Structure 1
Amino acid sequence: MTDRERLRTTFGEDAARYHRARPGYPAELFTRLSGPRVLEIGPGTGQATLPLTSLGDVTAVELSPSLAAVARAHVPAAHVVVADFDVWPLPPEPFDLVVSATAFHWLDPATRMARCAAALRPGGALAVISTHHVAGGTDRFFAEVQDVYERWDPDTPPGFRQPDAAEIPCEFDESALFDEPEFHRYEWDRAYTSESYVDLLLTYSNHIALPDRDRLVADIAALIDTRFGGRIVKRYMTQLAIARTRM
């Protein structure tokens, strides 16, 4: 089993935490998308699924049964399927839009573009939404927390700092099946208490799988409480990449 295959199964370990802690997506992002037949890959507990239902009928394919159960309760209008999209039998009627929000990188890189193209009608759109952690917010906290990561996570690059949003490359899989993608970016901030920030960290696969994760998050919470008054602000950059199948 590869790291990709192993880590992508960790998110369902605490579906309730995932649902309450994971950030959503900027509302204006969804105004650039259109249905009416929408396929979502990797919906988690439905953070993007709910706004997608305003576009039309949504079929959402989720690997984790526990995450899918929460998504069904959160977005009853969507049809949530428990399956591995890499091998899920595509329905005979094509979709107008395929969306993957913070999940596309978990798909098999050798087949994901071809399978998305096969799921779409001619001229249909693939929308890949990615979430990036960028410089901003409480900058001093993110500088000081580096020492905590270097203490408990052996894979932490020494002296790491969050990049500026402009430094994040516009990446999209090259494929002869799609036209050139267009990119749209949204920067936004979210405030966290020490408790809510630990909640967030424990939804990330690399934190979940870390042997010393309890010591890591305990030290991070203590840093927030003792040095930052119990509250920090984190900056995100959400990127939307849209490409249409070639006619």
Structure 2
Amino acid sequence: MDVFGSVADLYDTVRPGYPPEIAGEIVAYHGGTPASVAEIGAGTGKATTALARIGAPLTCIEPDPRMAALLAARHPGVRLHVSTFDQWSPPAGGVDVLACAMAWHWLDPATRNARARRALAPGGTLAVLGHRYDYTDPGQRAAIRSALHALDPTVRERPTDWFHQDIVDHGQFVDVRQEVFRRELPLDRQRYLDLVRTFGPYLSRSPEQQRAGLTVLGRLVDDFGGTVLLDLRTTLVLGRAGRRTGHAGRQRSDRA
């Protein structure tokens, strides 16, 4: 999960934050203000800003020291552990809320649900968040996806809100619910290319592939008139650490 450290400043500048309403959704689901909140893979603090609105003591777990340094500067009041989730030891009795924003996929698929369940106090709340970047204009979407496929046909996108299904399927949590927030995000050419430079699939490519990708995308944005309009979908999945006898997958309606 330390792949982003090399672009920590850029990540902090261009990655979008999270809707402030998320804090209220977590408190309402939990049944009141929790006694403690912990965040896995907190990065530079993009979701931390929203989680801090809960008003509970907040612990952030971030393995990359470069990302953690920016988080500490933005949120000096949090307790920061520069380590992985696997290395972190939850307090005795667990935490009331365990959150994870855009980092669930970096955790071991075989153990992340069970480990999260063990980190929570009885009746505690799991809150997993994620952004889904799409395009408002179908023409822009088709052109960009076609160009990226031509550069690397092996790239596959995860299904939309895949982590909701992952949590339901593993059966560690009960009363699993989903809230969806949407907003339009207009980006000029430079801002869009800077955002792409912070994505994991981009960072995992060779320098030659990175340059080729930015060149192709830059030309497309020029063809679009210099602006890309993103349809930013933010999903919040909530689950409760209940008895291990079953689970419910009730899903609430999307929010426009």
Q: TM-score range by the shorter chain?
A: 0.7 to 0.9
How high is the TM-score relative to the length of structure 1?
Answer: 0.86
SS of match in other structure, 1:53: helix
Contact 1:181 1:243 in 2 (8 A): yes
Match of 1:172, SS? helix
**Hey, which of these two has a bigger chunk of helix by percent?**
2
Gaps of 5+ in 1: 1-7
TM-score, with structure 2 as normaliser = 0.83
Separation (CA, whole Å) in 2 of partners of 1:58 and 1:22: 22
**Structure 2 residue runs without a partner (length 5+):** 28-33, 244-256
Equivalent runs, 1:75-90 vs 2, <5 Å: 75-90=75-90
Alignment of 1:13-162 (within 5 A): 13-34=6-27, 35-55=34-54, 56-134=56-134, 136-156=135-155
Bigger mean CA deviation after superposition, 78-87 or 59-68: 78-87
2:200 is matched with which residue?
205
CA 1:122–1:234 in structure 2 vs 1: closer, same or farther (change >3 Å)? same
Counterparts in 2 of 1:41 and 1:156: CA distance versus 1, 3 Å: closer
The residue identity in structure 2 corresponding to 1:179 is: V
Q: Distance in 1 between matches of 2:154 and 2:113?
A: 30
The percentage of aligned residue pairs carrying the same residue is 30
| Aligned residue type for 1:222 | R
Residue 4 (structure 1) aligns with: none
8 A contact 1:61–1:85 mirrored in 2: yes
**Greater alpha carbon shift after TM alignment, 189-198 vs 25-34:** 25-34
Q: Deviations over 1:38-68 (max 9, x none)?
A: 0000111001102211221110000111111
Following the alignment from structure 1 to structure 2, what is the Cα–Cα distance between the partners of residues 89 and 10?
A: 23
**Contact kept? 2:62, 2:83, Cα under 8 Å:** yes
In structure 1, what is the Cα distance between the partners aligned to 2:196 and 2:212? 13
- Give the superposition deviation at 1:170: 4.3
Residue of structure 2 in register with 1:3 after alignment = none
Matched residue type, 1:242: L
Q: Which amino acid aligns with 1:9?
A: D
> For 2:186, what is the secondary structure of its paired residue?
strand
Helix, strand or coil at the partner of 1:234: strand
**Where does 1:230-245 land on structure 2 (aligned, <5 Å)?**
230-245=226-241
Aligned AA for 2:228?
A: I
Aligned length: 233
Return the letter of the residue paired with 2:94: P
* 1:5 match: none
Give 3-state SS (helix, strand or coil) of 1:26's partner: coil
Q: 2:165 aligns with which of 168, 171, 174?
A: 171
Contact 1:15 1:66 in 2 (8 A): yes
Partner SS for 1:171: helix
2:144 and 2:101 map into 1 onto residues whose CA distance is 27
